[in-house]
Amino acid sequence: MENKKSTTQDIEEVLQEIGSKIEELIQKGAEAGTEVKEEIEQKIKDLKENKTTLEEELRKGKELLEREFKEKKEELEPKIQESKGFLKEGFRQIGLGIKALFGKK
């Protein structure tokens, strides 16, 4: 899960970089001539479209991971509860064994 989390963080960092590059291009576009300005505006438009696509893919990925996590959690919950019961009983038995060993009641 941690690996997936770091992947999500990596994607978010890339999206932040894209946003920074867009702002940088906007500033350069304001200073550039008409011909260069049109080229920069096209690049800005392309970057915005790619960012939107990446954001959508990130959202879909998060939803998929959350759904899989929920399904696995629901699948394992009865086994976890059963294991807790066994663990408690094990400690109880150890406690009874120690009491018997030292002759305490």
Q: Tens digits of per-residue pLDDT, 7-26?
A: 778 888 888 888 888 888 77
Instruction: Give, as one character, the DSSP assignment of residue 104.
Output: -
Domain membership of residue 45 (yes or no) is yes
Domain membership of residue 99 (yes or no) is no
Domain membership of residue 95 (yes or no) is no
Query: What 3-state class would DSSP assign to 56?
Result: helix
Buried b or exposed e, range 8-23, using 16+ CB within 10 angstroms:
eeebeeebeebeeebe
User: Which domain, by its residues, includes 35?
Assistant: 2-75
How many domains is the chain partitioned into structurally?
A: 1
Q: Tens digits of per-residue pLDDT, 13-67?
A: 888 888 888 888 777 767 766 767 777 788 888 888 878 888 888 888 889 989 9
Domain membership of residue 90 (yes or no) is no
Domain membership of residue 65 (yes or no) is yes
Give how far Cα 22 sits from Cα of 55, 84, 94, Å.
Answer: 15, 53, 65
